[in-house]
Amino acid sequence: MSAIDARTITVSEFGRIYAGQTYDGVMIQPKDIQELRGYIDEQNTKVSGEKAHYYDFLKPIRNGVQVNNYVGVLQTDSGLTIEILPKIYGKSASLEDKKVIRNLFFQMLKTARNINGKYYEMTNLDMRRNTIFEVFISMFLTQSSRIFKQGIKANYVSIQSNERFLKGKLLTGSHIRKNSFNNSKFYNEFDEYQANIPENQLLKTTLIFLLKRSKDHQNLRLIKEQLLYFDNVDEIRDPNQTFHKVQLGRDYVYYRQALEWCKIFLRGQSFTSFKGSSLAFALLFPMDKIFEAYISSIAIKSLPEYEISAQDKTYWLFDGTEETSRGYQLRPDLVLRDVTSKQTIIVDTKWKLLDHTGPTQADLYQMYVYFTRYKHNKEDVDKVILLYPYSENYNEQEFRSIKKANAELGAKVQVRFVDLLSVNIEEEVCKILK
């Protein structure tokens, strides 16, 4: 068993990792915590115009770190692999429960297409793999195999070489230095049509990178098979420089997804808005976005009688006037409009296990704003829903702004739960939303 294979641990969202403690048979070393804290320091910066605080991803605690609500896999330079699973009410750290939760995460991930502005094809997830990391490797191999089926691209590459025949432009200075005592050769520059281009170099380098890290027999077999296609392609030492040379024109469209995976593995760029050099790689997903995508997918599939708009941008908090422009666009997660009755249902999904205190005041204010502004714009709003994953710490209930004679004029905010592990998940979601 390799060092990397032996040093894999699994934790849930908000789990804590301490130096000197053992998790899944792995002793956490001070160096592991040091590298994770280095990653935290890197994330406490502004990325792509957004404030990316360290506590969004990992939080420093005494003698350790705490993971937050990002799910996926991290690997430190020293070889510690941390698999982070969603936190599901009532589930333990047993191997069987981990398997159930891992499969649930994959099922939810299949519905995600666009995460923080990055598009990935998730529908062909192979859930037979034992870890999230191996599933991601499998996804890359699926994309790279499509390249082999459609044909590896080649292009004209500029080459400088000492040849027996003059093939192109004679490089006079180099020719004199190298051939002053050898009149039988010409040092010249010429173009040669070959597969040793930046796009293929990145694919080969990623395959070699994964060959050293994968422990799944099927993945390893495919990696070795695919490397055979790249015998005449160079491995690269500086991926960043090579990525700058990539030009994905129309003829290279089928390379795009595989090269996005190359960025993840070789540059540490993840599905989130951050990256760093303190880790070997980080493949992390924001669970609030995954939960939203999952519920949206079920609703669109199961409720054909509704027109469904995800991240609806129809209205603003304030209308424009002669003196001021409209401002603060409203973006509820889901808006369902019944094509027959014309009633409207507004939904915000919240990836949070509610405790006895219930929804936050800010969330209730937000739902009241949705109700009011959609009503102002002549929509027949039936109800607004805050939808959470199942928890027994808080009972479902309905808040009403008016209880008496004119109750139909008041806002109706429902707090509802969905059991993500239910075998009848689609029926449950439909019952809640209707």
Q: What percent of the chain has pLDDT over 70?
A: 83
Q: How confident is the model at residue 274 (pLDDT cuts 50, 70, 90)?
A: very low
Summarised one tens digit per residue, pLDDT across range 281-307 is 778 888 999 999 999 999 999 999 999
What average pLDDT score do residues 392-396 get? 92
Supply the pLDDT for residue 251.
Answer: 86
Residue 147 has pLDDT above 90, yes or no: yes
**Higher per-residue confidence, 325 vs 275:** 325
**Higher per-residue confidence, 53 vs 387:** 387
**Higher per-residue confidence, 156 vs 210:** 210
Residue with tokens 């590896």: 152
Rounded distance, CA 155 to CA 200, Å? 11
**Higher per-residue confidence, 159 vs 206:** 206
Supply the pLDDT for residue 42.
Answer: 66
Supply the pLDDT for residue 168.
Answer: 67
Provide the 8-state DSSP code for 104: H
**Higher per-residue confidence, 183 vs 332:** 332
Average pLDDT, the chain: 84
Query: How far, in Å, are 46, 221, 268, 276, 365 from residue 265 at the CA level?
Result: 22, 19, 6, 12, 41
What is the token pair recorded at 277? 């050099």
Residue 183 has pLDDT above 70, yes or no: yes
Query: How far, in Å, are 120, 193, 268, 372, 384 from residue 263 at the CA level?
Result: 13, 26, 7, 44, 40
Secondary structure string (H, E, C) spanning 168-202: CEECHHHHHHHHCCCCCCEEEEEEEEECCCHHHHH
Residue 406 has pLDDT above 90, yes or no: no
Q: Which of 339, 279, 242 is nearest to 41 (CA)?
A: 279
What average pLDDT score do residues 167-171 get? 70
Q: How confident is the model at residue 54 (pLDDT cuts 50, 70, 90)?
A: very low
Supply the pLDDT for residue 128.
Answer: 63
Contact of 396 with 416, CB cutoff 8 Å: yes
Residue 44 has pLDDT above 70, yes or no: no
Supply the pLDDT for residue 200.
Answer: 95
Supply the pLDDT for residue 50.
Answer: 46
Domains and CATH numbers, the chain: 1-120+271-285 (no CATH), 155-194 (no CATH), 303-433 (3.40.1350)
**Higher per-residue confidence, 70 vs 279:** 70
Q: Which of 421, 419, 416 is nearest to 334 (CA)?
A: 416
What average pLDDT score do residues 410-416 get? 91
Summary count for the chain: helices (H), strands (E): 12, 24
Q: How confident is the model at residue 270 (pLDDT cuts 50, 70, 90)?
A: low
What is the token pair recorded at 374? 């959609």
Supply the pLDDT for residue 47.
Answer: 46
Contact of 57 with 91, CB cutoff 8 Å: no
Summarised one tens digit per residue, pLDDT across range 339-390 is 999 999 999 999 999 999 999 999 999 999 999 999 999 999 999 999 999 9
Summarised one tens digit per residue, pLDDT across range 89-137 is 877 667 788 888 998 998 898 887 655 545 555 555 665 666 888 888 9
Query: How far, in Å, are 36, 57, 274, 309, 408 from residue 43 at the CA level?
Result: 11, 8, 7, 33, 48
Summarised one tens digit per residue, pLDDT across range 116-129 is 545 555 555 665 66
Summarised one tens digit per residue, pLDDT across range 201-254 is 999 999 999 998 888 899 999 999 999 999 989 999 888 899 998 988 888 899
What is the token pair recorded at 355? 């405790």
**Higher per-residue confidence, 416 vs 191:** 416
Q: What is the pTM of this model?
A: 0.78
